[in-house]
Amino acid sequence: MARLPWRVRDRATFERLRRSPLRARRGPLSVTWVPAADALVAEGDQPRVAFAIGRRVGTAVARNRLRRRLRAALAEADLAPGSYLVAAGPEAARLSWAELRSTLADVLTVLAERRR
């Protein structure tokens, strides 16, 4: 089983994510990335992830289910070191597992191309 990414908890990293120009969007998913050198990663080169899932997605149960599904999809992905903010719109909750993984993989591919 792949190792799950660490959580973003500190305010400084959230501020860097807010100002980061490295963003990509595909369908209902949007991902913002800050490289490890800019993110002050304390846990080595482990990727760190935060989620932004608003109330428009649905009830707390629906939001938490989507967060768990996204976390599982990210565990399968090959993430570069740094911090990520994954935002999901209401349509993301209605995607099948295969569609969610595919959409997330597309967003991460676009983001990888932009950071070069």
Domain of 30, CATH number, reads: 3.30.230.10
Position 24 in a domain = yes
Share of the chain above pLDDT 70, in %: 89
66: region left, alpha or beta (phi > 0 left; psi from -120 to 50 alpha): alpha
Range of the domain at 27: 6-114
Which pTM does this prediction carry? 0.87
Query: What pLDDT, on the 0 to 100 scale, is given for residue 44?
Result: 60
pLDDT tens by residue, 28-55: 999 999 988 754 545 567 899 999 999 9
Residue 81 confidence (pLDDT) above 60: yes
Domain assignment of residue 31, yes or no: yes
57 in a structural domain: yes
Q: What is the distance between the alpha carbons of residues 108 and 76, in angstroms, rounded to a whole number?
A: 12
Residue 11 lies in a domain: yes
92, part of any domain = yes
Asked, for residue 1, whether it belongs to a domain, the answer is no
Number of other CB atoms surrounding residue 39 within 10 Å = 22
Q: What whole-number percentage of the chain has pLDDT above 90? A: 73
The amino acid at residue 110 is V
Per the structure, the count of domains in the chain is 1
Assigned domain for 64 exists: yes
